[in-house]
């Protein structure tokens, strides 16, 4: 069994055309492990998706940061899964905590979105994670299990899903989860999948970590047995994203 290391760059609501071009140039010139070793996906804002796709090296892919929950139509301001497919965008990030918390996306809504996006042929980076308050009250395991269950209830095919564990308290705060904190939640999620979905899916699903990952802390996190890669925010806009991609080299799956 082997899970290919996965590094995603979530650019969030950042960048100008010029800045985007600069980042892509850095990525295009970078010497990184081959696509047999690491899968790299960058996620620019919607308006830059086609621009990035047209410039980006062919061994890296692009992801949207969201899409509408069902077929497109009279939903002002939304972007449908069909549109992403039509533009040749293979991936979408769904259930990011910024959308759950700032825009009120519920576990069920995220589950519905994941199911619809998969049904249209998109691959999904599905995010889960607890707030600081939830961690401090000891409910991390229950929270991430409930978020994962709402997705698992809606889907049967896990081949096109990457699960991203992103503790809210670590996002954009510079306060990274320790390698053992990350490993503890990742192994718990894998066990949850094993019990509730199936052993094969649990063994093959990639569970990646997000929250203040940078060039300095990525290697130690990557070395954890159940950390299969990263979803990177702030550092994905900087040259150190290349070092994070390179951390795939420290991985050796048994």
Q: Which residues of the chain form contacts with ligand 13P (CB under 6 A)? A: 10, 96, 166, 171-172, 210-213, 231-235
Q: Which one from 96, 98, 105, 186 is the annotated catalytic residue?
A: 96
> Could you give the angle at the alpha carbon of 181 between the alpha carbons of 180 and 182, nearest 5°?
90
In the bound state with ligand 13P, the residue whose beta carbon lies nearer, of 162 and 201, is: 162
- CA nearest to 163, candidates 93, 211, 115, 225: 93
- Which residue in the list 39, 98, 105, 166 is annotated as catalytic? 166
Shortest distance, position 14 Cβ to ligand 13P, whole Å? 10
Q: Which tokens sit at 94? A: 């769904």
CB-nearer residue toward ligand 13P: 232 or 248: 232
Exposure of 24 by Cβ count < 10 A (0-12 exposed, 13-18 middle, 19+ buried)?
buried
Q: Is 96 an annotated catalytic residue?
A: yes
The C-alpha atoms of residue 174 and residue 212 are separated, in whole angstroms, by 5
| C-beta of 181 vs 197, nearer to ligand 13P | 181
* Least gap, CB of 230 to ligand 13P (angstroms): 8
Give the residue with the Cβ less far from ligand 13P, 166 or 228. Answer: 166
State the minimum distance, in angstroms, from the CB of residue 211 to ligand 13P.
5
Q: How far is CA 79 from CA 70, 92, 169, in A?
A: 10, 11, 29
Q: How far is the CB of 41 from ligand 13P (least distance, A)?
A: 12
C-alpha 11/C-alpha 253 separation (Å) is 29
Q: Which residues contact 251 (CB under 8 A, 6 or more apart)?
A: 5, 222, 223
- Tell me the closest approach of the beta carbon of residue 119 to ligand 13P, in angstroms: 24
- Stretch (H or E) spanning 230: strand 229-232
First to last CA, the chain: 8
78 part of the active site = no
Q: Whose structure tokens read 């096109």?
A: 160
Nearer Cβ to ligand 13P, position 205 or 236? 236
| Catalytically active residues, by annotation | 96, 166
């Amino acid at each position: 069994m082997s899970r290919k290391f996965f590094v995603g760059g979530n650019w969030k609501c950042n960048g100008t055309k010029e800045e985007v071009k600069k980042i892509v140039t850095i990525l295009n010139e970078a010497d990184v492990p081959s696509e047999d070793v690491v899968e790299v996906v960058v996620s620019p804002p919607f308006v830059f998706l086609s621009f990035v796709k047209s410039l980006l090296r062919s061994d890296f892919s692009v992801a949207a940061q969201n899409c509408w929950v069902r077929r497109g139509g009279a939903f002002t301001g939304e972007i449908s899964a069909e549109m992403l497919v039509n533009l040749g965008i293979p991936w979408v990030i769904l259930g990011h905590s910024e959308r759950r918390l700032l825009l009120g996306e519920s576990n069920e809504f995220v589950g519905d979105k994941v199911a619809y996006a998969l049904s249209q042929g998109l691959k999904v980076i599905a995010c889960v994670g607890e707030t600081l308050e939830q961690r401090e009250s000891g409910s991390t395991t229950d929270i991430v299990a409930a978020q994962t269950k709402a997705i698992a209830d809606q889907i049967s095919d896990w081949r096109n899903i990457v699960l991203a564990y992103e503790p809210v308290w670590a996002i954009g705060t510079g306060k990274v989860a320790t390698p053992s904190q990350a490993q503890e939640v990742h192994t718990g999620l894998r066990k949850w999948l094993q019990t509730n979905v199936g052993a094969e899916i649990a063994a093959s699903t990639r569970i990646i970590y997000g929250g203040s990952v940078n060039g300095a802390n990525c290697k130690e996190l990557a070395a954890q047995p159940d950390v299969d890669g990263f979803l990177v925010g702030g550092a994905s806009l900087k040259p150190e994203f290349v070092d994070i991609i390179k951390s795939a080299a420290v991985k050796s799956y048994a």
